[in-house]
Structures are given as C-alpha cells and as structure tokens.
Chains A and B, each alone.
Chain A
Amino acid sequence: MTDSPKGVWFHCLPRCETYLPCGAGRHIVRWEAGELRLLSHPDAEAELVLAALGGEKARCVEVAQAWERHAEDLSVLAIGPRGPADEIAVSWDDVDAEVRASQFGGWTAYAPQAGGRHPGPGSRRGPRPLAPPVPARYQQPMQDREQAARRRNDMLSLLALGYGFQVRLIGQVAEAASGWPREAGEKIRPSLVAAITARLAPVAEEWLGIDPGQVVVTLHRGPGWGSAELIGRGEQRRLRFSLPAGWLALVWAAGLALTGRHLVVAVERAGWPDARVLALRAPGTEPVPLEVHATAPGPASGGLDVRPGAADAPHWEVWEV
C-alpha cells in the first residue's frame, strides 16, 4: 500500500466481510484497511506449514493466498466487474464444481483426499502429484493447462467473495500499478487504459448519456488530476479523459465515480464516511471541490449467506459544495 498526501487509497472504503464455507463450517473473511483478515484462522502461517506437510488446507487460507497472488495481477482489472450493473455472480458451489472439473480433467496438480472422498467445500489437500511421469513433450502443455486451471479457480474464489471484495481487489491492483516505475509502467499502460475505459465508460454514459464506445482514455502521469474534454458531434463525438491509474483505486473502487451528478476525478481528503473530492460538473470545466458523505445500506439479509453485493456498495452524496 502506498500513502499519498491526500490519504491512503482505501480510506474511502468501509470494512467489508463475508462468510465462506471452510472445513465443516462457515468462516468470516473480512477486508479492512486494505487487508484481508481471516478471523477464524488466527495463525494462518502455521496452517500453511501443516498443509505443506500433507495436512488439509483451509479454504479461508487458500482464498487469502489467492488474494495475495493476484493483488498485483492486471488480469483482475480485465476480468473483474465494470460497475454495480456488472455484478458477477459466482457461488461457492461454482467454485467447487470448477475444482472438481479441473481435477477430473486429469491435469490438475491437486489430488483428492485419501479414502476416495470427493473434496468437500473448503478442504483440499496440498499439492501432490497425481499421475505417473509425463513424457517431456506433454509437460509444457500440461503445465500451461494446470496454470490456466489454477488461475481460473483463483478468480472464481475471489469473485465468490462478492462484489464488495471484487472492487477492493481491483482497487488494490490499480494502486499497485500506479506505483510502478515509469519504464515498467509503459508495459502495463495498455491494461490500465483498458481498465479505466471499461469503468469510466458506463459512468460517463450515466453522466452525459454518451455512448460508452465514444469514451477515450489516456493514462495521466505527473501532477494534477488529469483532463477531460468533449469534442466532435454525432458519431464523431468523443469524451476524452486523461486519468491516473490511481483513479480506479481512490475513486472508482470507493464508489465515488458519479456523485451528485458530478464525475469525481480525484480525492482531496480521503475518509469514511466523509471525504472531500474534486469533481466535474461538465467536461471542459475546472473540477470543483465537494464535501461528500457516504451511507452504506448494508447487507440486504443477515445470517451466514451474506455476501457483499453491488447493492451493498456505499452510496455517496454531496454534503457541501
């Protein structure tokens, strides 16, 4: 995580938690202050050591590992939700089905438990070779498929945490990307441009009624928030934005992008539930500072099935201009 003078990227995001099936029960996983916390596994490190020795690995721990593996993975930006209207519904049953499918496909690196029982939700043994030695010419394709299956399983698990976690992971990835050195940053610029376009376009459509395909984004680096202009007419109309990668973390992930008919371009003072942002009334105008206040409706239902969905995302209102 990086601190900026205007606050840490996640300061506009409240705590978020969900239950997930782990072992015989359901455990809480919480995201708070930029970190994933496993409340039912106080010593996850020790559990990992046990798993490496052949013990069962708890699903909570696997999810935390997947989170860590993908915290700087730009694919998260390409796969994750584009906004509340793009909620990706993945259940833990889907995750289990995917794991089983990859195991029975014969390519996975994970073996079923001793005794032949199907691995139940949240309990899988550590890596163990399944098959006899594989001829060399098949090893690379096999490794590729294993990697693809693991990546897919990781993504499914992370998405199964719910929308609230999904946007926070996107925020974390974007924040990490914005901290890359300039030379390395050039390599990831296409992914970031696509990621910002993907999430700004639906916001701009709601803001101005513009076709999402007419939103053009470039990556802003350097001082200032960036720029915005509307040019052309009809089919040639373009809404051009230059925004930094951090916009995804500070603004979009916090649900601030469109607040009180303003398009928020930067956060001046991060905080929850009160913050001060810079926002545009219209393209081509100077951004104005706004004091904003958030309310989170909270989960629609209680109990063990709660997952933070798009409907639970914070709702920001302009408090004071």
Chain B
Amino acid sequence: MNGERAETILRLLAEAELRNQLAPDPPPWAGGPGAGRVKVYVVGQALSAVGALDRETVEDVLADFDLAVGLRRLHRARPAITRRAASAARLTAQLSPGRPAPPPNPPGPPPAIQAQWATVAGGGPPESTGSLGPAAPVPADPEQDAADRFVPIGLTVPFHQGGLSGELYLMSFAHTRAGARLIVLWGKPTLSRDHELGLQQAELFPVDLFTVADNRGSAYELDFTPANGSEWISQINLRPVPPDGIRWLEVVAPPGPAVRINLDPASGPPGGEPEVSAANLSAGEQLLIMLAEELLMVAAQNSPAMRPELPALSPRVMQTMGTGLGDIIAALEAVDMLPPLSPVPAQLAALCESLRIDGHEIAAAPADELPEPWLSLLTYYQRRKPDTAQVRDGFAAMTAALPELDGIRLALVGLHNTQGTTVLHVLARGLRREERLGPHGADLDFPLSFWLRDNGGRWHAARPIGWQPTDPEHSIGLMLVPPLPRSTAWVEVLAGGRSGEVRARLPLRWGAPP
C-alpha cells in the first residue's frame, strides 16, 4: 500500500479544488460552491475505505482545505459554502418524510447520507472512515457450521391481559454458538380505554407474559433484546441453551393456548442449496459497486414518481451523490486499488447517465450493459407512476445460512413489512460494527453487495438500517428497495463479496397479520 502516493493525490486534489473554487470565473467542472469540498471529502473517504490512507491524514487535509477556503472567503459577501450547506440541510430535511414507529428508519436517504450531505458541504468534521480492504478479519470460527441450526417458524402467539391485547409473531429459531433464540416481531397492541386515556400505564412489549418449554418438559428463562436496534423486532434468548435433540418448543402467553414450534429443519418449506461462484474483485471495484448500489437505492427512494410533490429535489439529490465519482476512480487507479481495465467504472458511468447525473466526471465511456439487478432497480426508479398501494404489513418465515464470503457469514432469519417498508433480518459473523462511512454514505461495516430477486423477476437491493452488535454475532436489519409484496412466493438471494458470490433460492412463508 502506498500511503504516500495516496496522500499526495488527495493533497493535489485539494489544491486543484481550491484553485477552481476561488477562481474569479470557476470552470464548469468545478461543480459550483461546495462541490470542491465534497470531492476532497469523498476521495479521502474512498482512499481510506480501501486502506490506502489513514483517517487522521484525511482529516488533516480537510482541515487545511477548510481553513484555506474559509480564510479566502472571509470578506466575500455571502459565503457560498455556507449557502450550499444550508441548501443541503434544507434539502435533506425535506426528504425526511418522518413516520411513526415500527420500521427502524424512514425511507429516503439513510441518516448517514443525510448527515454527510450537510457535513460535507458545510465544512464540518468528517465522519469516521475505515478500511474496506481485505477485512481486518474477525477470528474465524471453524466449528460454526456444526453447531448452527436455523428453523423458519411463521406462527403467531396472541396475548391478552389487563386490557392489553396483541400478537407476537414468531419468525424463526436460531441456534448458534452464540446461543439459542427466537426471532420475533411484535404486533401493534390494542389498548383498553383506560390505557388510551392514560389512566393505566401500558407495557407495549409485555415480555413477562411469555413462557417457553420444550418437549422434555424443561422450561427456559427468556431474555428479550432488540434485534436490529428496534424494539419491534426482538430476539428471545433462551436460557439455558436447549440441548441437541429436542423436537419442539411451546410458547405460551395468557390466555393461551400454547403454540408449538417444530424444530426439525425439514419441517420448513424446502429451499435450494446455495450456489457459490468465485470472484476476484479489487477493493476499489468493491467500493465502486457499493457506491453504485447506494446511488440506485437513493434514486429508487427519491424517484420523481415517488415524490411528485417535490419534483425539483430528486435530481439535486442525485447530482450531489454523483459529485466526485470521477475523482474517486482516478484516485483508486492511481494507488493501484482499481485495475485500469476494470469494467466497473464504465458501468458506474452508464448508471450515472441513466440517472441523468451529469457531474460525475467519470473518464470511462459508459458501458453498454449493466448488471441485471441494477437494471431492474433503474426500471423501478424510472417508472412514471407511484406504486398504487403500499405493500401490506406482514412477516415471512424463511431461514438460510449462507456460505462464508470474505470472512463474513450471514444467516437469514426472516423478513417483515411494516408501513410500506420491507426489512430482512440477518445474523452476521465476521463483521465489526465501527460505524465507518464510505463516500456518499456507503456503509463500510457491511462490505457486501446484497440483493433479492422475487419470483416475478424484480430485484430488490438491501442495505443495513438497523444493527444490534453483539459478540460474536450481529443482528442486522437490511431494508429492501423496493419493498417486497406479500404475494412473493420465493426469493433468490444474491450476496457478493470480493472473493465470491452466493446465490440461494428461498421459499417464503408469510404470516400474520392477515
């Protein structure tokens, strides 16, 4: 790794941007006020993401750049950078539709991107960055496969007590070396009149009502923890860990009856064996793919059809996300993190053209073809009419343990729809939660490309929106864009890393509410 080269590239970029931004008549490629900083920022993040440059150096370069620009603008009438920041902040504020509870995060640009837009354009301190590179590996666990057991459930446990009624949806059972637990989803409770009037305090998640026992008569202590940073999705950890060989568990809540969970994996709907194919992506290619997918997801969530009331905003959001892509590619090539003949820059250029992003400055000619998932999401973005009805609430039982990719093991343990958003729940090993951000909000803590194809042929991109870090497993919620309709009978999972790609076909067993 040539850190000196990377730092030189970043400093020279800062120099060029300072020259462009301060020119009396800035050239068109300067991209307007604030764009220079965005470029320096995202290129610094990219170099840091692939491990070519440390975070402190990026921060130093940015601090110098900010001071150099700020001091030269001291006596200008209206600091353009500040205008840009205000504009970005306004823009992102307008893009946050804000919704009531169940889904962990609202649609629209993820908080990371929203914060980044305001920070980047306005000159605030950079967010943390980290290395995408051949992962600072979390110690491998050779015995994992032997111990792991994942069972889809798809059952509902109703409860009623003291004026509080509701349902607990059992999505799956997972038994790994980290323990045994049920992955559950809380339904929206019904409150008595006293609760509604505030005369009696409501316990929205009445965990004490539930008991669990197995076919041998052993009872378990239950430990509820939020699964993905949201209390609506929980893990019920069973203590002690059930022994091997138990056939079923019964979950009971008043007034009953008990709901029996068959723990024989064969009892679930049949799925296909995962198919693995090798790949050999450079760290730069992997980062560019993550950027492309981020771009696609933000585009899909902010398409003109989706937000007809704000027609001017979507293009501006996309322009912002395209800023600096050409510089990122040039920098990655210069530090040997992106092969000169890589097809990814051309694909990214084609994607930008398709999204009408004209400030990307990617030197490569746009590719003639795009990966099928990208095309599918582009089609969704370009639809002329918004979806007529949001997807119905519900959950789907499904489980699959995917083969290891780049040292990361994922187990799919269910998905649910709430208020038009689909969240896929996974358990992950081999990851570290450090809240590292890459350029334009790319989540470096989850360095995988992750897609689902439904039985209708439409692809759905996935990215983390909720994360419950535990040792050694993390519980992660992946938001799917577009959401998955309840008519979906099966999905094909496509997970891609630098070293390979995994495909697995999974049937879905949809559950309540009806």
Contacts and interface: CB of A to CB of B under 8 A. Distances in A.
A186 to B, nearest CB: 6
Contact of B63 (A90, A148, A197, A201): A148
A191 B11 contact: yes
A189 B12 CA distance: 12
Contacts of B16: 213
Contacts of B74: 88-90, 94
A79 B11 CA distance: 12
A191 B7 CA distance: 8
A152 B72 CA distance: 13
A104 B14 CA distance: 31
Given A89-B74, A90-B74, A194 B15 contact: yes
A88 B11 CA distance: 20
A151 B7 CA distance: 22
Contact of B8 (A75, A88, A193): A193
B145 interface: no
Interface in A150-183: 151-152, 155-156, 159
Most A CB within 10 A of own CB, among B10, B15, B16, B61: B15
B67 interface: yes
Given A89-B75, A189-B8, A152 B67 contact: yes
B11 A159 contact: no
B11 A78 contact: yes
B371 to A, nearest CB: 32
Interface string B64-79: 1101100110110000
A194 B72 contact: no
A190 interface: yes
B19 interface: yes
Interface in A86-139: 86, 88-90, 94
- Contact residues of B: prevailing secondary structure: helix
Contacts of A213: 16, 19
Contact of B4 (A78, A88, A186): A186
Interface string A213-241: 10000000000000000000000000000
B12 A193 contact: yes
A313 interface: no
A79 B8 contact: no
Contacts of A190: 4, 7-8, 10-11
A156 B71 CA distance: 8
Contacts of B18: 198
B15 A79 contact: no
- For chain A, give the interface size range: 20 to 34
A213 B13 CA distance: 10
Given A148-B63, A198-B15, A78 B68 contact: yes
A214 to B, nearest CB: 11
A212 interface: yes
Nearest to A144: B125
B75 A155 contact: no
A191 B61 CA distance: 9
Given A191-B11, A194-B14, A79 B67 contact: yes
A8 B8 CA distance: 29
A151 B59 CA distance: 14
B71 A194 contact: no
A213 B19 CA distance: 9
A95 B16 CA distance: 28
Nearest to B53: A190
Nearest to A193: B8
Contacts of A212: 19
Contacts of A155: 67, 71
A149 B378 CA distance: 46
Interface in A64-84: 75, 78-79, 82
Interface string B121-141: 000000000000000000000
Given A186-B4, A190-B11, A197-B12, A75 B72 contact: no
Contacts of A152: 67
A193 B13 CA distance: 12
B502 to A, nearest CB: 40
B504 to A, nearest CB: 43
Contact of B11 (A86, A148, A186, A194): A194
A191 B12 CA distance: 9
Contact of B71 (A82, A88, A197, A198): A88
A67 to B, nearest CB: 17
6 contacts: A78-B14, A78-B68, A155-B71, A194-B12, A197-B15, A198-B15
Interface of B: 4, 7-8, 10-12, 14-16, 18-19, 22, 60-61, 63-65, 67-68, 71-72, 74-75
The 9 closest A-B CB pairs, nearest first, are A194-B11, A78-B64, A190-B7, A190-B8, A79-B68, A198-B15, A75-B64, A190-B11, A79-B67
